[in-house]
Structures are given as structure tokens and as C-alpha cells.
Amino acid sequence: NFTPNAFVEDCVKELKEKVKNDRVVLGLSGGVDSTVAAVLLNKAIGKNLYCIFVNNGLLRKNEFENVLHQYKDMGLNVKGVDASERFLSALAGIEDPEQKRKTIGRVFIEVFDDEAHRIEDVKWLAQGTIYPDVIESVSVKGPSATIKSHHNVGGLPDFMKLQIVEPLRMLFKDEVRRVGKTLGIDPELLGRHPFPGPGLSIRILGDITPEKVRILQEVDFVFIEGLKAHGLYDKVWQAGAILLPVNSVGVMGDERTYEKVVALRAVESTDGMTADWVHLPYDFLMKISNEIINKVKGVNRVVYDISSKPPATIEWE
């Protein structure tokens, strides 16, 4: 039986013993896992924890600014690095999902490594890896080849001679949230839906352009804010929008349009390993669909994904 209080106490004690007076670097993602890991480490070692929050240009609308602000308010020693252009230019022209992940993983390591080198005498790399990450990374290496390579597992490039510390390695998501609550982290931050490391890049099918990122950020914003306004956000485990690589014909006044199609996805799950699509109310879907088509330039059709995992994965790529 998992008790968050006892976990925090043991974990902080272990972290102190393990890390001692060494400096630790940690990449914050805006998600629950890395945030909880950071707060635990902050509690254990304070200013010896150096957090780096990288904007890969594929985050949700306004996410980088808002979350960075929140981290600072929490007293974390954090540096925000806007590397959007570096990521987007590295991704230009790439269509294959695994290539996108690899590119993002590579650029992230480059950016992160540059920043880590600025910290004098850093000895440890902390990561917010949780149990399902560990399992999926192992199990996907089945006989039929890699399904999806999760870039936040798999350790370090050789040139970074850091030791790894992963305080949440044995926890499931709900346990991480309970630990976060015990630590006094803002419930809104703790209740945030999971969001993949490669961000919107794996929700833009096909190649990525700044314009597609803009469209998807706007669509996602309407959907997520709508879920919150209708009291549905907390009833859903994960939600997001997908920009499809097809145009469809529509009418606007007397004009024929030929614009993008977006899919909305909302799932119920406990750990992301299996998931069911959520029966969102028709009235809500109708309202959101109208709002997206009216507000977001370049989109003229909205569809809702009614596939469960398995066989469909949560992300489309």
C-alpha cells in the first residue's frame, strides 16, 4: 500500500545520502513527473539543483512562458531556454514519426548539454522517469522492432559523464500525483494531462512547419480551454488535437474553401498502456467544433477519434 508521506520522507533522505553536496542538473518539461522530481530534489538539496526548461517550439500555446513563471514562483532554481528555432529548423522536411522523435531527442541533448556545461562541476543528471516509461522502453524492443522510442529514457550521451538519479522510477502516474499533493504542488499543475516529450510534432502528421504548429496550438487551445470551462478536463486522462495531412472541401458564405482537417482525441486511462476514448457530450463536441472552425484560420473540418488502445495508440504517430 503506497503512502505518499512515507515516500517523500524516505526519498528525500535517500537523495541527500546519494547526492550529498554535489550539483544536480534536471530538465523540466512542464509535466507532472519532472516537476515532482524537481520539488523532491529541491527539498533534499536546494540550490544545488539546477533546472533547465527548454522550449522546443512544440509546446502548447503560451505554455513555455506560463510554466516557467510558475516554476520560479515555486522557488525552483530554473533557467528557461528558448530553442524553438533550432528544433523547428532541424525538423524541417521530416515526415517519419521515428525520425521526428530522433531529431528532437538529438537536438534536446545538444541544447541541454550546452546548458549543463555552463554549470560548474555538475555531477548528476536527475530525470522524472516513472515506471511505465521504464516498462514501455523495454517492452517496445520486441521482435517486430521498435514501436516508439521514448526519448526521455535511455540515458546519456557518452560525453556527459554524469550519474543518473531518478527518484520516481518505481512510481505510477497516480502515485506521482499523490506525492506532488503531499509536497504542496499546485493542484492545477498536478492535474495536467500527460503530454509527450516530442510535443505537437507527433500530432502534426507529416512534415512540420511553423504555420502548422500555429494552427495546431490554436485548435488545441480551444479544445483544452473548452474542456476546462465545461468541467470535463479532470474527467479525461489525456486530450489533444491532431492536424491531419489532408485538406477537405467546405463552404464559407458563397465561397468554396479547401482547408485542413483536425481530429480531437480524449481518452480515459490509468497509465497510458491501455485507453478508451471518452464519450464527450455531443453538445460539447458541437460547440467546440464550431468554435475551432470559426476561430482558427486554415481549418474547415473537425472529426472526433473513437478508437481505443489497443489497437490504436493514444498519439497518432
31 is in an annotated binding site: yes
Minimum CB–partner distance for residue 140 and ligand XMP (Å): 9
Rounded CA Rg of the chain: 20
Q: Is 29 annotated as a binding residue?
A: yes
In the chain, the N- to C-terminal Cα span, in Å, equals: 36
Our CB check for ligand XMP shows the closer of 63 and 291 to be 63
264 CB-near residues (< 8 Å, 6+ apart):
223, 239, 240, 241, 242, 285, 288, 302, 303, 304, 305
Query: Residues in the site for ligand XMP, rule: CB under 6 A?
Result: 101, 148, 150-152, 194, 196-198, 238, 272, 309, 313-315
DSSP label at 102?
H
CB of 275 to ligand XMP, least distance (A): 7
Give the whole-angstrom CA distance, residue 209 versus residue 204: 9
Q: Which is nearer to ligand XMP, 152 or 289 (CB)?
A: 152
If the CB atoms of residues 260 and 265 are measured against ligand XMP, the closer one turns out to be 265
34 is in an annotated binding site: yes
221 or 237, CB closer to ligand XMP?
237
Which segments within 111-168 are labelled E, that is strand? 122-126, 163-165
Residue 137 CB, nearest approach to ligand XMP (Å): 10
* Least gap, CB of 38 to ligand XMP (angstroms): 17
Q: Rounded to whole angstroms, how far apart are CA atoms 309 and 272? A: 9
Distance CA 85, CA 120 (A): 27
- Binding site, by residue number, is 29-35
For the annotated binding site for ATP, the residues are 29-35
